[in-house]
Structure 1
Amino acid sequence: MISICMQMTHFSHSDLSVVEKTLQAEVENIFTWLVVNRLRLSVSKSLCMLIGSHQRTRGLNLTVMLDGDILRQVSSTKYLGVYLDQHLTWQAHVDYVLSRVRRKLFAVNQVKPASSNVLQLLYRAYILPILDYCDTVWSPSNSAGTRHLERLHSKFTSSLPSSDNFNLRSSLTERRTFHTALQVFKIVNRISPPYLHGVFSLAVDVTGRSGRNVHRA
C-alpha cells in the first residue's frame, strides 16, 4: 500500500497506522520548513491518496492533519500532467487523453481540405504529443478508452503518407513499445536520469551468461 500526500511526499507500508504516522511526521516537517522560510501552503489544494488493490484499500480512510485541518482524501489526482488513480488502472488518464484528442481532432478536421503534408504536420504538432506523453508510464492500460484512442489514431493516419522518422501509421501500441524499449536502452546505458539507474539492473540474459540480479522494489 502506498500513500501520496500533498504531491510532495510518499510512503509505502502494509499497515495503515504506520502510513499515517510516517506521513504525518513528513507533513509536519514540510509545514515547519514553509513557516521558517515564510512560505504558505494552501490546505484546500493539498490532498492525500491511498494506492493499492481494490481489496486492500476498500473502506480505508487516511487521516493526515495539516495546520489543524484534515487533508482531503481523493481517488485520483493529476501529477505532472498524468492522472494517477488509487488502483493504478490509468483509466482516469486515458479518459483525459481521449477527451483532449477528440477536441484536437475536431479542430484539425476543420482545416480540410488540406494537403496530406499539412495534415501530417498538424497531427504531429497538436495530437501526437498528447498521445505520446508519458506513455511509458501508463501504457500497461488496456481499457476500452485505450482501444478507442487506437481507433481514432488509425482512422486519421490511414490516409497520411509514411514518414522516414517514424511511420504515423504505426499503431499506438507499437509506438509505446518503441518508447519503452528506448527508455530501457537509456537506463541500461546510463544516459537516463540518474534516479532511474538504481531502480533497474541487468538480469541473466537469454544466452545463459550471468548478469546482475534484477532489483525489485
Structure 2
Amino acid sequence: MLYDNGFEQLVNQPTRECNTLDLFLTNCPDLIPRVEIIPGLSDHNIPYCEINTSFRGKCQTQRQIPLYARADWDSLRAAAEDLSTELQVKKSSHSTDELWSTFKDKLLAAIKKFIPHKTARPQNNLPWITPNIRRLINKRDRKYRRMKKTGSAKLREEYKSLRRTIQRQIRRSYWSYLNSIFTEDSNTCQVNNKRSRKPFKRSYVLHGHTLETVSTVKYLGTTMSENATWDTHINTMVTKANKTLGFLRRNLKISSVSIKEKAYKAFVRPVLEYASSVWDPHTKKNTDKIEAVQRRAARFVLNRFHNTSSVSSMLSTLGWQSLKQRRKTARLGTLFKIHHGIVQCPVISSKLVPPPTRQRRKHNCQFKQITTRTLCRDGSFLPRTIKDWNSLPAVTVEAATVDTFVSRASAS
C-alpha cells in the first residue's frame, strides 16, 4: 500500500526487541541521508533521522485595509437599494450564476467606491535590524550601485568598509536582542523554598542577568509557591472555573440537561482536574472550595437555583462523583502506571519498596509507608497515595490494565 501511494519506509531496524514499531514514511528519500536507531530511556529505542531541508519564510504582501470610520454610508445604502431593485428585475430572465455575479461585482464596486482604503506595508524585517542599521544598509546599496556604474576603486573601498561595519553592528544587535529576552522584566525568575528549617538562598545568573526571586511562579500550567503549598494555584484555578461556568450560564440558555452537562464536563471540569495528581489538596478548606464549583454547576445543569433545593440530591440525580474521589482515583492511576513501568519516573519508582515482612499486609503489592515530619509533606503525592494504595483490595491492585484498575479503584 505504501509503494502504491509513492511512499517509502526508511526504518529498517527493530525499535523494541525484535519488532519495528516506529515508521518513517517519505516520498522524497533523497532528502534523508541518515537513519539509525539509538538507545532510549526504556526498552523502546529511538529512531534518529537527519533531513536535508530549508525553511522558506512566507513574506507578507501589501493589503488593503478599509477605513469604515470615513465611509459614505448613505451612498452605500443607496447603491444597495439600487442593486436590490436591479436583481428583482433580472431574477426572471437571468440564471442563478448570472445573478450572483451581478450581485458580487456591484457590491464590491460600491464598497471600493464609498469606503476608503489604506495600503498596509509588509512587516518582514528581523527584530534586531534597527532603524540605524536599516539606514546603513540603504546607504550601502546606493554606494554599490554607484560603484558598479562608475567602477571607482575609491567607492569599492568605501563599500567594503561599510559592509564590514554593517556586519559588526548586526552581530552586536543580534546578541543584544537575545540578551534582552532574559531581562529582569521578563518571566524568567526563581522561587526559593521557605518551608525548610534552613532555607537555601542562592542567586542564579542567566545570560548576564540575575534572576528575580518571586513568591509564586507558573510552570506547565500549575502555580508553585515558596511555602510549598498549592493555595495560590487552587485559588487561580477555581476563579477560572467559576468564570467559565458563568460564561456558560449567560450564553447557554437552553433547557436540555444533557447538553448543559456535556458543556460542564467539557469546559469546566477539565480546568478543575488539570494535573490534579500533583496538587490534590489535603485541607478541608481547599477541598470545599473546589467542590463548591461542581455544586454550582449542578444547579446550572438542572436549573434549580432556589435556596431550599438540595444540591446533594442534584448530584445524586446527575450521578456525579465528588471531585475529591476523582482526584484520588487519578492519583492511584498515576501510581499504577509508574509501578508497572507505563510511565517512566525513576525518582518515584526507587521509593516504591515492599514493607517489612513483620508488617500485616492487605495484599502482596503493598509499599513501605514514607515517614514525614509535616502535614504538608504527608499530604503530598507519594506519601498520601501510598496510604491509599495499601488500603485497596487485592482484586483492584492486581488488575491487568489501567482501565480495569481505574474502574475498580473508582468503585472502591
- Taking a change above 3 Å as real, the CA distance of residues 135 and 199 of structure 1, as seen in their structure-2 partners, is farther
- Taking a change above 3 Å as real, the CA distance of residues 141 and 85 of structure 1, as seen in their structure-2 partners, is farther
Pair 1:178 & 2:329 matched: yes
Counterpart of 2:65 in structure 1 is none
Note the C-alpha offset of 1:65: 2.4
- Taking a change above 3 Å as real, the CA distance of residues 116 and 193 of structure 1, as seen in their structure-2 partners, is farther
Whether the aligned pair in 2 keeps the contact of 1:48 and 1:62 (CA below 8 Å) is: no
Counterpart of 1:51 in structure 2 is 193
Whether the aligned pair in 2 keeps the contact of 1:116 and 1:160 (CA below 8 Å) is: no
Counterpart of 1:112 in structure 2 is 253
Q: State the TM-score, normalized to the length of structure 1.
A: 0.67
CA deviation profile, 1:12-47 (whole Å, cap 9, x unmatched)? xxxxxxxxxxxxxxxxxxxxxxxxxxx765233321
Q: State the TM-score, normalized to the length of structure 2.
A: 0.37
Counterpart of 1:42 in structure 2 is 182
Note the C-alpha offset of 1:69: 2.6
Partner-residue secondary structure (3-state), 1:78: strand
Structure ranking higher on relative contact order (CA contacts 8 Å, 6+ apart): 1
Query: Within 5 Å, which residues of 2 pair with 1:61-210?
Result: 62-110=202-250, 111-142=252-283, 144-157=285-298, 159=314, 167=319, 169-195=320-346, 198-204=349-355, 206-207=361-362
Structure 1: runs of 5 or more not aligned: 1-38
Partner-residue secondary structure (3-state), 2:218: strand
Q: Which amino acid aligns with 2:272?
A: L
- How much identity, in percent, do the aligned residues show? 20
CA deviation profile, 1:63-94 (whole Å, cap 9, x unmatched)? 22233332100111000000000111101100
Whether the aligned pair in 2 keeps the contact of 1:48 and 1:74 (CA below 8 Å) is: yes
* Structure label with greater radius of gyration: 2
- Taking a change above 3 Å as real, the CA distance of residues 104 and 47 of structure 1, as seen in their structure-2 partners, is same
C-alpha distance in 2, partners of 1:123/1:176?
17
C-alpha distance in 1, partners of 2:276/2:367?
27
- Taking a change above 3 Å as real, the CA distance of residues 160 and 116 of structure 1, as seen in their structure-2 partners, is farther
C-alpha distance in 2, partners of 1:143/1:197?
27
Whether the aligned pair in 1 keeps the contact of 2:193 and 2:226 (CA below 8 Å) is: yes
Q: Which amino acid aligns with 1:122?
A: A
Whether the aligned pair in 2 keeps the contact of 1:135 and 1:176 (CA below 8 Å) is: yes
Whether the aligned pair in 1 keeps the contact of 2:217 and 2:225 (CA below 8 Å) is: yes
Partner-residue secondary structure (3-state), 2:192: strand
Whether the aligned pair in 2 keeps the contact of 1:77 and 1:83 (CA below 8 Å) is: yes
Note the C-alpha offset of 1:98: 1.0
Q: Which amino acid aligns with 1:63?
A: S
Greater share of helix residues, 1 or 2? Answer: 2
- Taking a change above 3 Å as real, the CA distance of residues 207 and 125 of structure 1, as seen in their structure-2 partners, is closer
C-alpha distance in 2, partners of 1:91/1:179?
20
Whether the aligned pair in 1 keeps the contact of 2:223 and 2:230 (CA below 8 Å) is: yes
Deviates more, 1:140-149 or 1:65-74: 140-149
Whether the aligned pair in 2 keeps the contact of 1:90 and 1:141 (CA below 8 Å) is: no
Considering only aligned residues, what root-mean-square deviation do their CA atoms show, in Å?
Answer: 3.5
Deviates more, 1:188-197 or 1:100-109: 188-197
C-alpha distance in 1, partners of 2:347/2:201?
32
Deviates more, 1:154-163 or 1:109-118: 154-163
Aligned length: 176
- Taking a change above 3 Å as real, the CA distance of residues 56 and 119 of structure 1, as seen in their structure-2 partners, is farther
Q: Which amino acid aligns with 2:265?
A: R
Whether the aligned pair in 1 keeps the contact of 2:354 and 2:365 (CA below 8 Å) is: yes
CA deviation profile, 1:156-192 (whole Å, cap 9, x unmatched)? 23546867xxx5x211111111111111111121112
